[in-house]
Structure 1
Amino acid sequence: MNSKDLKLIYIWDAYCGWCYGFSTGLNEFHKMHPELPITVLSGGLFVGDRKRPISDYPHIPGANQRIEQLSGVKFGDAYQELLEKGNFVLDSEAAAKGFAALEHFSSEKAYELAAAMQKAFYSEGKSLSEEATFREIADAFGLDADEVIKRFKSDEAGRDSLKAFHTVHNLGVNSYPTLLLQKGEKLIKIGGGAMSAEKLEENFRTALQNDSLES
């Protein structure tokens, strides 16, 4: 099959610790395959009645330890303080709006922008509901920060984030992270959890030969 018929679809949530861990392997895999375009879709993990203080999710500290062990990522001291205080509200809709605003001005760097958002939260303890966080990311990527913030506060960003949520729902994906390979008209899951670049490569090669594989 021609490589032009292949692309990656990465389904994540900015407040998903497993996505933060997955970023290490995905980043390496992405560098190995620059020929594969990657679409990034926000999944909406903490929306509706799940938009609650982080202390309402007591499994998170234990999960973070497991993520560190499996992926090698580190959760920063500033994030650990948020975790200990417990009153930080996880709001995936606000984060998705911020991502949509950034992506609007630099769609070719969608994955890098997503990774920058997770670094801001999990390493630096910065809120993904605050304008200041997206202003810093915009500046780091050479984007017009004022335009990014204007977009972040607009109805368009809200519509873009909801469109992403609906697309993910229609794909039948309810677990984050999920990496799909689009092979012509077929979608094949090749990654999730804290998977290494080597395992992603193995799954990718298998997917090129078959239409199904174990995730």
Structure 2
Amino acid sequence: MKLVHVFDAYCGWSHGFSATLRETGARHPELPVEVVSGGLFTGGRRVSIREFGYVQGANAQIAELTGAEFGEAYERLIADGSFVKDSEAAARGMAALRRAAPERAVELATNLQKAFYVDGLSPSDPATYRKPARAAGLDPETVVAAFQAPEARTEASADFRRTAGLGVTGFPTLLAVAGERVLPPARGHATADDIDRRLASLS
């Protein structure tokens, strides 16, 4: 069995799930975890943040429920409402990080969300990827180059197709995959204890 974490770097609930995801990985080192970018803000949903209106309220709810941090630098980044969430760019960045250390995809995904939601760095900016790369002890320039390479766009598109193929429409979704069986230990908010109970019921 393996776990598949389908998330979006621009999804506040995915950010709120970061601690649970890390804890689950620590509790179950025997289970490989595949991290897939879901593509929440693409096409017609790629608009300025002011079009959503509910961002601050949702973030407050996420912080209260999960303890996730939304930093002052992030608040400054989105303050005037002009910031555009582009999930295709974020998926290219995740692909670049994943390519550098595929076995550490969970760490890299949560580092990327911290760079945005705490440090206020845009996942659409190539320079942003130096931060999560350095935090993981990777060569930052290699990751930036990978973000800018055509292969990253191809991998982002493959992630979106994989998300659709898995039937995932909301983020985050954690799936347990065993052969042809695909079962969801978590959709949205869950604790590591919740996931443990659901995994136990699958075995």
Q: Deviations over 1:53-79 (max 9, x none)?
A: 111111211111111111111211111
Q: CA deviation at 1:142?
A: 2.5
Alignment match of 1:168 (pick from 163, 186, 193): 163
CA contact (8 A) 2:36 2:159 kept: yes
Q: Secondary structure at the match of 1:85?
A: coil
Matches within 5 A, 1:60-139: 60-139=55-134
Task: Name the CA distance, whole Å, in 1 between partners of 2:46 and 2:177.
Answer: 31
Tell me what 2:194 maps to: 199
Alignment match of 1:54 (pick from 49, 52, 56): 49
List runs of 5+ in structure 2 lacking aligned partners: none
Tell me what 1:182 maps to: 177
CA contact (8 A) 1:176 1:193 kept: yes
Q: Secondary structure at the match of 2:34?
A: strand
Matches within 5 A, 1:6-45: 6-45=1-40
Q: CA deviation at 1:144?
A: 2.5
Task: Name the CA distance, whole Å, in 2 between partners of 1:140 and 1:23.
Answer: 15
Q: How many residues align?
A: 203
Percent identity over the alignment is 43
CA RMSD for the aligned pairs? Answer: 1.1
Structure index of larger Rg: 1
Q: Secondary structure at the match of 2:79?
A: helix
Q: Deviations over 1:30-84 (max 9, x none)?
A: 1100110000000000011111111111121111111111111121111112232
CA contact (8 A) 1:121 1:128 kept: yes
CA contact (8 A) 1:22 1:192 kept: no
Q: Secondary structure at the match of 1:187?
A: strand
Task: Name the CA distance, whole Å, in 1 between partners of 2:141 and 2:119.
Answer: 22
CA contact (8 A) 2:71 2:117 kept: yes
List runs of 5+ in structure 1 lacking aligned partners: 1-5, 209-215
- The amino acid across from 1:123 in the alignment is V
Is the aligned partner of 1:143 residue 2:138? Answer: yes
Task: Name the CA distance, whole Å, in 1 between partners of 2:131 and 2:90.
Answer: 14
- The amino acid across from 2:7 in the alignment is W
Task: Name the CA distance, whole Å, in 2 between partners of 1:59 and 1:52.
Answer: 14
Task: Name the CA distance, whole Å, in 1 between partners of 2:132 and 2:21.
Answer: 20
Q: Which TM-score applies when normalising by structure 2?
A: 0.96
